[in-house]
Amino acid sequence: MSTPASITDAGIDWPTLGELAHTLTFTAGFNAAVVVASASLLGVAAGIVGAFALLRKRALMGDALAHATLPGIAAAFITAALLGGQGRRLEVLLLGAAVSGVLGVLCVQLIVRHTRLREDAAIGIVLSCFFGLGVVLLSAIQSMSVGDQGGLASFIYGQTAAMLPRDAVLTGVVALLALIAAALLIKEFTLVCFNDEFASVQGWPVARIDVLMMALVVVVTVAGLQAVGLLLIVALLIIPPAAARFWTDRVRTLVILSAILGGLSAYMGATASALLPRLPAGAVIVLTAGVVFAFSMLAAPARGLVAVGVRRVRLSARISRDHALRELVVREKTEASAITPAALASEIGLSPPAGRWLAYRLTRVGLVEREGVGLSLTDRGRTLGRRIDRNHGLWQRYLIDQADVAPSHVDLSADLVEHVLSPEMVERLEAKLTHAGGGAPA
């Protein structure tokens, strides 16, 4: 290519649909199938374990842990090389990674328990100091004349392409074990996440369950080192559960959804990385998870931004409708002339355009009708308006009589609450106030 400055002219050889289908269905040769399958398993395991880590507010502990594996990898390599073995055997390196990762987590807990430093500082300290040690050891390895050290750096950013089939199988098996363990312990984990004090009162060994949970985080992190890299594995632990959180408030559903989202992200990311050149798997998996997260954040019906926004707009529309109807009802008693939309708007604290829009809406649903330039209530509107006025009055009376709010202050509080009164609550208010001798305004 003549102009290498632009990144749009990527010149990617797009795979054919057939190749895509083969990779997606694990039939594109053993290597690709094993890599994609083990990455997906890893995604599912990370989704489950990450969901519990998120609920225990330990999301970033995984980051400290992942960074802390680097010196272990380097030390394992050096030890193996000095003992004359082959340094780059994955089992040896991953064992070293697990040991120093656990040490890192222990350091975080010791710092938090025995010094005045907070958890965020402790995580940052462990993360940077362990990683610094790892960097020093790597530079020492570079100046050692030991062969086959090229693969070590791939643990930092991850490199599925550098994975041998047997390494991929190992990753997959470890991920599967973590998955099974997490699935078996799901009840205990849920209990501890939901209410750890209750769990310990019930006689559950909370501390031991916590250790198990952390151990599973270690296993998943270590398993993901080669595929995703130690800088990005934490994303696989955090993003899927954070995305699933938008969809549900239930722990069980959250865990299952997080597993599905994690598995899906890893599956699609690993596939893309296997088919297209120069797409590092870790980054692609994380970005895929990011897209899933963004979609969940916007579209999820429970806590998604669109749903929350729509609910908020609806509520404010209902509040201004209630205010307008009440204003019209009160006005009917005292004044003969109809009120213009603009005047109505200023009475209930809206801008003139918002007032016109409100008048249009109320006319359309048949609560209000036009009377020249002014507005008057229809029969339905009057009935509804009277009821709203009555609720307002009831609540005002309740605040004055029962909650000892000064009469000059009740209007505002009543304004806020009257819209959320359910019919049963109105009934109970009526009963209570009648009993207490305070009459509600009719």
Partner 1 sequence: MSDATYAFVSLDLPAALAGVLAALTCALLGNFLVLRRQALMGDAISHAVLPGIVVGFLIAGSRATWPIFLGAAGSALVAVMLIEALRRVARVEAGAAMGVGFSILFALGVLLIEQASARGVDLDAGCVLYGQLEYVNWYPVHDWGRFWTLEHITTGYQTATTTISPDTGLPILIKEGGLPRQLWMLAAVAIAAFTFVGVFYKELRLTTFDPALATALGFRAGLMHAMLMVLVASATVAAFEAVGSILVIAMLIVPAAAARVCTDRYAVQLLASLAFALAAGVLGYIAGAFAPAWVGFEGRALNVAGTMTLVAAVLLTGAIFLAPAHGVLWRGVRRRRLALSVAVEDVLAALYRGDESGDPSRVADLPASALTLKALSVLNARGEIGRAPGGGWRLHEPGRRRAASIVRRHRLWESWLVDEMGLRPDHVHETAERLEHLTSDAGALEPDLPPRALDPHQRPIPPDDDA
**Subset of residues 8 to 37 that bind partner 1, contact rule: CB under 8 A:** 10
Binding to partner 1 by residue 82, rule CB under 8 A?
no
CB of 258 to partner 1, least distance (A): 12
Binding to partner 1 by residue 307, rule CB under 8 A?
no
Q: Which of 305, 310, 315, 431 binds partner 1 (CB under 8 A)?
A: 305
Q: Which of 277, 301, 349, 439 binds partner 1 (CB under 8 A)?
A: 277
CB of 140 to partner 1, least distance (A): 6
Binding to partner 1 by residue 7, rule CB under 8 A?
yes
Q: Which of 95, 135, 176, 342 binds partner 1 (CB under 8 A)?
A: 135
Binding to partner 1 by residue 317, rule CB under 8 A?
no
Both tokens assigned to 394:
């009831």
Using an 8 Å Cβ cutoff, are 313 and 259 in contact?
A: no
Binding to partner 1 by residue 387, rule CB under 8 A?
no
Angle at 32 between CA 173 and CA 22, to 5 degrees: 120
CB of 252 to partner 1, least distance (A): 19
Q: Which of 25, 86, 139, 195 binds partner 1 (CB under 8 A)?
A: 139
Q: How many residues in the shown chain lie near partner 1 by CB under 8 A?
A: 64
Binding to partner 1 by residue 316, rule CB under 8 A?
no
For 406, phi and psi rounded to 5 degrees?
Answer: -65, 140
Which range, of 90-98, 279-287, 332-340, 383-391, touches partner 1 by CB under 8 A? 279-287
Binding to partner 1 by residue 403, rule CB under 8 A?
no
Binding to partner 1 by residue 290, rule CB under 8 A?
yes
Which range, of 56-64, 346-354, 371-379, 431-439, touches partner 1 by CB under 8 A? 56-64
CB of 98 to partner 1, least distance (A): 21
**Subset of residues 216 to 255 that bind partner 1, contact rule: CB under 8 A:** 231-232, 234-235, 237-239, 241-242, 245-246
Binding to partner 1 by residue 145, rule CB under 8 A?
no
In the complex with partner 1, the residue whose CB is nearer, 45 or 152, is 152
**Subset of residues 170 to 209 that bind partner 1, contact rule: CB under 8 A:** none
Q: What is the contact surface with partner 1 in residues (CB under 8 A)? A: 1, 4-7, 10, 54, 57-60, 63, 111, 114-118, 120-121, 123-125, 127-129, 131-136, 138-140, 143, 153, 156-157, 231-232, 234-235, 237-239, 241-242, 245-246, 277-280, 282-284, 286-287, 290, 293, 297, 303, 305
